Amino acid sequence: MFNLILALTVGIIIGWNFNAFFQALEAPKIIKNDINLSQNILEESIKKPIHKAIVEKEPIIKEKKIYSPKIIPKKHLPKENSFYTLLHKNLFSDALSLYVDAKEKDILFYRATIEDYFRTTIKENPNESIIQIIDYLEIEPDNKTVKLLLSEAYKNAEEYENAIIIISELLDANSGNETAELETNLINTTQKYATLLKKSNRSDEFISFLQAQIDYGLNMPFFSITLAKEYLSLQKYAPAIKLLKEIEFDEQYGEEVKVLLEKIQNGEIAQDEYTYKLPLTKVGDHFMVEVTAEDTPLTLLLDTGASLTMVNEDKIASLTILNDNVTLKTAGGDISAQLHVAKTFKVGDIELKEFKITTSSFKQEKADGLLGMNFFKQFKFKIDQEEEVLYLSQKVLSK
């Protein structure tokens, strides 16, 4: 019995060893299991969302820029900006309210925008622009750029007197590199103002204005020499010399003053007295000048002996008749004529309104009539026969 149990035990042990041996010889199933594992992981990853930090990028924080009027062209200004929009929708008061309440970081941008706006409006509508700029200067009274724009608006509106005052104030307050530019601006503006007044026979207003600036103390040397030249043009030498003596040693105008004083002393200033220089044409012993009466071009003989200007009756038939029976006194004798009025009468750059003209039968080679004393008495004049030039300056009426 013992032997039987021992044999059975040995058989079982041998059989187990053979089974383990053959199992070790089989190919492993790792690949299949790996594939199944990967598939499971993929399925699980689809079910779960990817982490938010991976999908969403961190926002880029841009540095805020402070805009400067020197570096921002108009085309680059953001048109969606409410301040810009208000200005260009003619809601200036609303835009100004926004300007007053603006944060410090926005002020430079707003200032650049409104200055650019003014540069446009002073050309398109100077009168409205003047009102708007004055309102703005109540907020920023020290803005020199806008003050200069205001002077340009006044010039565009032909209010030269106000423009001159602003430029003078800027000049007096300026000691930098802009001085020369402001001085040139002042001179050009004053010349335009003088031309405007003289064309409308208001030279006395120009003198009064210049004297007022001197009395007030605005850039005295410039206004003094300008007024002195005006007096010289009127042959008023005493007040001219007095003014020139006051600025004889001025650093800027001293040399010019010295030249003017020498000319006065030597009697060399005659031709400088006259504002207008008109070319003449000589025919025989007579001089002729080109004129225009109500858009009709005429050639008239200079006749200081004629009491009134006279034109050939065939040349102008549309003038208003004032008197159909007048006697015209001329250097050659009395002439029966009709008296008319021309709405405009031009000689060179001079234009006269409601100018009286007589018409009669006038036969003269290459001439249409006579330029008489009713024209010449309004001017200081000189006929230079050698140069064939007529010099004229409008008279200043004494008050």
Average pLDDT over residues 233-247: 87
Give the domain ranges of the chain: 74-271, 276-394
The reply to whether 276-394 shares the fold of 74-271 is no
For residue 303, is pLDDT > 80? yes
Average pLDDT over residues 105-123: 91
Mean pLDDT in the chain?
77
pLDDT at site 94: 87
Average pLDDT over residues 350-372: 87
Average pLDDT over residues 33-59: 36
Average pLDDT over residues 169-193: 84
The pTM of this model reads: 0.47
Higher per-residue confidence, 327 vs 287? 287
For residue 174, is pLDDT > 80? no
CA distance 67 to 83: 14
From the CB of residue 6, how many other CB atoms can be counted at a distance below 10 Å? 10
DSSP collapsed to 3 states, the chain? CHHHHHHHHHHHHHHHHHHHHHHHHCCCCHHHHHHHHHHHHHHHHHHCCCCHHHHCCCCCCCCCCCCCCCCCCHHHCCCCCHHHHHHHCCCHHHHHHHHHCCCHHHHHHHHHHHHHHHHHHHHHCHHHHHHHHHHHHCCCCCCHHHHHHHHHHHHHCCCHHHHHHHHHHHHHHCCCCCHHHHHHHHHHHHHHHHHHHHHCCCHHHHHHHHHHHHHHCCCHHHHHHHHHHHHHHCCCHHHHHHHHHHCCCCCCCHHHHHHHHHHHHHCCCHHHHCCEEEECEEECCEEEEEEEECCEEEEEEECCCCCCEEEECCCCCCCEEEEEEEEEEECCEEEEEEEEEEEEEEECCEEEEEEEEEEECCCECCECEEECHHHHCCEEEEEECCCCEEEEEECCCCC
Q: Could you tell me which CATH class the domain 74-271 is placed in?
A: mainly alpha
pLDDT at site 90: 86
CA distance 42 to 325: 122
pLDDT at site 267: 66
Considering 28-42, 44-58, 238-252, 352-366, the range whose residues carry the highest mean pLDDT is: 238-252
64 backbone dihedrals φ, ψ, rounded to 5° = -70, 135
For residue 305, is pLDDT > 50? yes
pLDDT at site 398: 38
Q: Which CATH superfamily is domain 276-394 in?
A: Acid Proteases (2.40.70.10)
- Of the chain, the percentage scoring pLDDT greater than 90 comes to 26
Count of residues making up the chain: 399
